[in-house]
């Protein structure tokens, strides 16, 4: 139910914002709007404006909408109304009407991101978990537990980092742009700062997958190596208790929860569980226990499990911004996410990034439900992200999208000639085919993720 309501709320905000922008700009340009529809299929409600005569329609399936304008290409237009037809407007007016929808989604994203900044958002502190062995971060000398103070592409002009989200943003931008990233890190007491250079330029085109951060080696913020709720299994048999802090496994110091989980998974040798000596801290006292994990199948791999929750929530920091700063950060976040989306799409088209990056309606619905269950701020962030995606998607130069129509108008502006009906039909068919192919890939990725 939560997922359904979250998706319904997103559709009720994002689709009307897009279509209403088309509608208002059309009226401002003197174009007669015949119908403003939210949703498709059977009509649930219908009413007519007494002022402009526009018919407003609410359809049963709120998966889109449209604004139908008076147009000589679609119907016979009385001579006295010809000046109100869309196709008779000057080029700049037609382009403004078409561009209004996606621009409205981008402006809505700015407002939503700004609102999040004004409310204040809790994010994990920029303290690094232990890196994946052999990863870029591990080779750079990171051990886990370091706090990132500043980051950037140029060691001389580093920018302040406020949360782990800022770290991920720098890593994403570096990976997409093929640039090395410098992190200025410190110890827990903010002393002994040093610079660490992550060679993200080493990443290959095939590394641009959802597992990108595994290759970089920084998958999340630091969590404590704590034992949580103990269930039936190896943890209970070994005498582990909720609240135990794991200090060492064998001769290896344990830095955080991520490292502990990986050591438990890897405690298998030749298909048999490996008994190891754990040094734990319990109520201020060090205790030694022998732990023999249970075996579980994870795909084709046999891994260890102990039957207990491992790790803790990361330390959080609240980031709240003032009126002007919040609005400016909304602009920056929208620009960064929009440009990143375009870069990823471009790399996918060039074969430099995996098509696994495409997500479809099932993944979006899943994220919507999870975001809504976490509170208003995560849900607003989700809405902003989807609004950016809709704006960018609709600006793509595909004939069935707003960007395709803008492409026609660019041709008209450069040549002085409109695109011929024959070419428009060919491009329309090709655009539909390409869009259906992308949707099929996205849906396949959704099913693969959910079943995986």
Distance, CA of 216 to CA of 271 (rounded, Å): 29
Point out the catalytic residue in the list 19, 132, 146, 184: 19
Backbone angles phi, psi at 195, to 5 degrees: -95, 140
Distance, CA of 322 to CA of 197 (rounded, Å): 33
* Helix, coil or strand: residue 68: strand
Distance, CA of 386 to CA of 15 (rounded, Å): 11
361 C-beta neighbours (distance < 10 Å), count: 13
Selection from 108, 82, 86 nearest residue 405 by Cα: 86
Name all contacts of 279-284 with Cβ < 8 Å and 24+ positions apart. 279/246, 279/247, 279/248, 279/249, 280/227, 280/240, 280/244, 280/245, 280/246, 280/247, 281/244, 281/245, 281/247, 282/241, 282/243, 282/244, 282/245
Residues 126-135 as b or e (16 or more Cβ within 10 Å = b)? bbbbbbbeeb
Distance, CA of 290 to CA of 333 (rounded, Å): 49
Beta bridge partners of 96: none
The pairing of strands 245-249 and 227-230 is unpaired
H/E element, 196: strand 194-198
**DSSP character string of 365-421:** HHHHHHHHHH-HHHHHHHHHHHHHHHHHHHHSS-TTSHHHHHHHHHHHHHHS-PPPH
19 part of the active site: yes
Q: Where are the alpha helices (DSSP H) in 74-163?
A: 91-119, 136-139
Backbone angles phi, psi at 286, to 5 degrees: -85, 135
Task: Let me know: does 17 contact 106? Beta carbons within 8 Å.
Answer: no
**DSSP 8-state code for residue 131:** P
Q: Which residues are catalytic?
A: 19
């Amino acid at each position: 139910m939560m997922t359904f309501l979250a998706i319904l709320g997103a559709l009720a905000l994002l689709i009307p914002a897009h279509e209403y922008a088309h509608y208002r700009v059309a009226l401002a340009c003197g174009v007669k709007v015949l119908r403003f529809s939210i949703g498709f299929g059977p009509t649930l409600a219908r009413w007519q404006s007494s002022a402009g005569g526009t018919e407003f329609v609410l359809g049963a399936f709120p998966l889109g909408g449209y604004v139908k304008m008076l147009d000589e290409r679609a119907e016979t237009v009385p001579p006295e109304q010809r000046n109100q037809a869309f196709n008779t407007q000057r080029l700049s007016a037609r382009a403004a009407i078409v561009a209004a929808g996606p621009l409205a989604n981008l402006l809505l994203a700015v407002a939503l991101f700004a609102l999040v900044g004004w409310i204040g958002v809790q994010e994990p502190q920029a303290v690094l978990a232990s890196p994946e062995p052999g990863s870029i971060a591990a080779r750079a000398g990171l051990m886990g537990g370091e706090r990132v103070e500043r980051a950037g592409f140029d060691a001389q002009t580093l920018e302040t980092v406020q949360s782990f989200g800022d770290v991920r943003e720098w890593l994403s931008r570096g990976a997409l742009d093929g640039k090395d990233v410098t992190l200025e890190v410190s110890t827990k007491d903010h002393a002994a700062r040093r610079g660490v250079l992550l060679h993200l330029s080493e990443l290959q085109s095939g590394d641009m997958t959802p597992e990108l951060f595994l290759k970089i080696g920084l998958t999340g913020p630091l969590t404590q190596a704590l034992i949580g709720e103990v269930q039936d299994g190896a943890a209970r048999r070994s005498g582990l208790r909720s609240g135990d802090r794991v200090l060492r496994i064998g001769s290896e110091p344990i830095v955080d929860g991520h490292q502990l989980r990986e050591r438990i998974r890897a405690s298998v040798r030749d298909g048999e569980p490996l008994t190891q000596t754990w040094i734990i801290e319990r109520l201020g006292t060090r205790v030694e226990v022998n732990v023999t994990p249970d075996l579980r199948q994870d795909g084709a791999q046999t891994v260890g499990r102990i039957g207990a929750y491992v790790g803790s929530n990361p330390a959080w920091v609240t980031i709240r911004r003032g009126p002007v700063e919040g609005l400016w950060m909304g602009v920056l976040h929208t620009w960064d996410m929009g440009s990143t989306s375009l870069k990823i799409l471009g790399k996918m088209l060039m074969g430099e990034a995996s098509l696994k990056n495409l997500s479809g309606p099932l993944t979006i619905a899943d994220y919507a439900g999870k975001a809504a269950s976490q509170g208003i701020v995560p849900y607003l962030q989700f809405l902003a992200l989807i609004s950016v995606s809709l704006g960018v998607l609709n600006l793509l130069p595909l004939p069935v999208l707003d960007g395709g129509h803008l492409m026609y108008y660019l041709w008209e502006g450069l040549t002085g000639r409109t695109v011929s009906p024959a070419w428009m039909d060919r491009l329309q068919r090709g655009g539909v085919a390409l869009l259906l192919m992308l949707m099929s890939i996205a849906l396949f990725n959704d099913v693969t993720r959910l079943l995986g």
